């Protein structure tokens, strides 16, 4: 178990962030270890297999990663909510050769590699550049088209937890996270191994919602990385379990499949753009459906800067709850 004591300065500096590259490397681990039947992205498997066979650096990255462990420099923790894949790749590219080799040795000690073509990559003085180039190419061909939708899921989670934080404090923001609890002035993360207390030194905790870490959690506790908890974003279990895209059946019969999907998604304030990304509906269609739901008194909207954030009304909450209980 990891225990992160939070002093006053740590609470002030704890913040949320999103991590494109952590998500991508987590997907690669899942595809490599679990196979296509265990993930909702089976269509990516042929391209994944091609890259694995043809790109030695990509195959070396996969070989270093087990389901629960891998070199930290290939997916460094982000710095904030504006993190982009370009930021992440720049961080990977800045890794010193000494650090990369140290982490590679640790991975090989856990999971030895005998394939010569992979060892050539890992022993090369250009290993950092080759790994960075392989990650960038694989991102473009495997994940770039998926990321906007998945990022929106993570952003919705942060929006919800930020509201809980503002209303009830950090204990409420941590509520519901698997294997994470607030106890006696510290955040405790239930992981395998002995109890380990990790001081934050006034730097706070980095909290990163994730699609691919579900159903567990991950943590960074060793320097030089920020102390980080990666946790499953709210509602992501339904993505893995393959829900009916039309929302609860009874609600879909009443208001239509697309409107049911939007109504069930609006448990936290969400913009039209984010709804389009998370549901796969066109932005124009989302706007039309929201107008109908608003006239019916099921949702309302509040302007926040340049965007309008929509949320279910009390009537919309009641309808969604009743319909869900009968689905």
- Are both 69 and 6 inside the same structural domain? yes
- Are both 248 and 227 inside the same structural domain? no
Number of domains in the chain: 2
Q: For residue 237, tell me if it sits in a domain.
A: no
Q: For residue 59, tell me if it sits in a domain.
A: yes
CATH of the domain at 302: 1.10.10.10
- Are both 114 and 206 inside the same structural domain? yes
pLDDT tens per residue, range 127-144: 999 999 999 999 999 888
The mean pLDDT of 148-162, rounded to a whole number, is: 84
185, 211, 232 - which closes a domain = 232
Q: For residue 260, tell me if it sits in a domain.
A: yes
pTM for this entry: 0.72
182, 198, 232 - which closes a domain = 232
Q: For residue 238, tell me if it sits in a domain.
A: no
- Are both 252 and 312 inside the same structural domain? yes
- Are both 183 and 260 inside the same structural domain? no
Report the chain's mean pLDDT, rounded to a whole number.
84
Q: What pLDDT score does 277 carry?
A: 78
- Are both 144 and 262 inside the same structural domain? no
Cβ neighbours for 228, distance < 8 A, ≥ 6 positions apart: 77, 205, 206, 207, 208, 219, 220
Does 200 have pLDDT greater than 70? yes
What is the spatial distance between Cα 317 and Cα 275, in angstroms, rounded to a whole number? 17
Query: N- to C-terminal Cα distance for the chain?
Result: 38
- Are both 196 and 301 inside the same structural domain? no
Backbone angles phi, psi at 101, to 5 degrees: -65, -35
pLDDT tens per residue, range 216-263: 888 888 876 789 999 988 867 656 654 444 445 556 666 788 888 887
Q: For residue 171, tell me if it sits in a domain.
A: yes
- Are both 48 and 91 inside the same structural domain? yes
- Are both 189 and 290 inside the same structural domain? no
Q: What pLDDT score does 300 carry?
A: 85
- Are both 89 and 41 inside the same structural domain? yes
Q: What is the CA radius of gyration of the chain?
A: 21
Q: For residue 239, tell me if it sits in a domain.
A: no
Q: For residue 75, tell me if it sits in a domain.
A: yes
- Are both 186 and 298 inside the same structural domain? no
Q: Residues of the chain with pLDDT > 70: what percent?
A: 88
Q: What pLDDT score does 182 carry?
A: 84
What is the spatial distance between Cα 272 and Cα 104, in angstroms, rounded to a whole number? 44
Range of the domain at 223: 2-232
> Using a CB cutoff of 8 Å and minimum separation of 24, what contacts does 304-308 make?
304/269, 307/271, 307/272, 307/273, 308/271, 308/272
Q: For residue 56, tell me if it sits in a domain.
A: yes
Q: What pLDDT score does 211 carry?
A: 87
Does 305 have pLDDT greater than 80? no
232, 252, 287 - which closes a domain = 232
pLDDT tens per residue, range 37-66: 555 677 788 899 999 999 999 999 999 988
- Are both 228 and 294 inside the same structural domain? no
Answer left, alpha or beta for residue 146, where phi above 0 means left and psi between -120 and 50 means alpha.
alpha
Q: What pLDDT score does 252 carry?
A: 63
Q: What pLDDT score does 246 carry?
A: 43
């Amino acid at each position: 178990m990891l225990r992160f004591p939070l002093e006053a300065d740590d609470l002030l500096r704890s913040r949320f962030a999103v991590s494109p590259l952590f998500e991508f490397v987590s997907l690669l681990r899942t595809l490599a270890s679990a196979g296509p039947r265990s993930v909702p992205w089976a269509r990516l498997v042929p391209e994944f297999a091609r890259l694995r066979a043809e790109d030695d650096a990509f195959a070396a990255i996969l070989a270093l990663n087990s389901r629960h462990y891998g070199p930290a420099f290939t997916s460094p923790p982000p710095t904030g909510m504006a993190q982009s894949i370009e930021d992440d790749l720049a961080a990977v590219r800045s890794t010193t050769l000494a650090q990369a080799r140290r982490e590679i040795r640790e991975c090989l000690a856990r999971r030895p590699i005998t394939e010569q073509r992979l060892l050539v990559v890992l022993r090369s003085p250009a290993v950092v550049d080759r790994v960075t180039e392989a990650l960038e190419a694989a991102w473009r061909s495997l994940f770039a088209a998926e990321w906007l939708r998945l990022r929106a899921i993570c952003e919705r989670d942060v929006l919800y937890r930020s509201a809980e934080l503002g209303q009830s404090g950090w204990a409420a923001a941590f509520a519901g996270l698997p294997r994470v609890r607030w106890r006696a002035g510290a955040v405790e993360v239930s992981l395998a191994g002995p109890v380990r207390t990790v001081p934050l030194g006034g730097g706070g905790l980095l909290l990163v919602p994730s699609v691919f870490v579900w159903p567990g959690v991950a943590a960074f506790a060793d320097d030089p990385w920020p102390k980080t908890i990666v946790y499953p974003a709210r509602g992501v279990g339904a993505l893995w379990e393959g829900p009916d895209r039309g929302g609860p059946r009874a609600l879909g019969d009443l208001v239509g499949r697309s409107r049911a999907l939007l109504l069930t998604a609006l448990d936290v304030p969400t913009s039209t753009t984010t709804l389009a990304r998370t549901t796969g509906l066109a932005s124009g269609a989302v706007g039309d459906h929201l107008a109908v739901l608003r006239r019916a008194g099921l949702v309302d909207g509040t302007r926040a800067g340049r965007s309008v954030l929509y949320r279910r009304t009390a009537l919309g909450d009641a309808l969604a709850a009743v319909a869900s209980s009968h689905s």
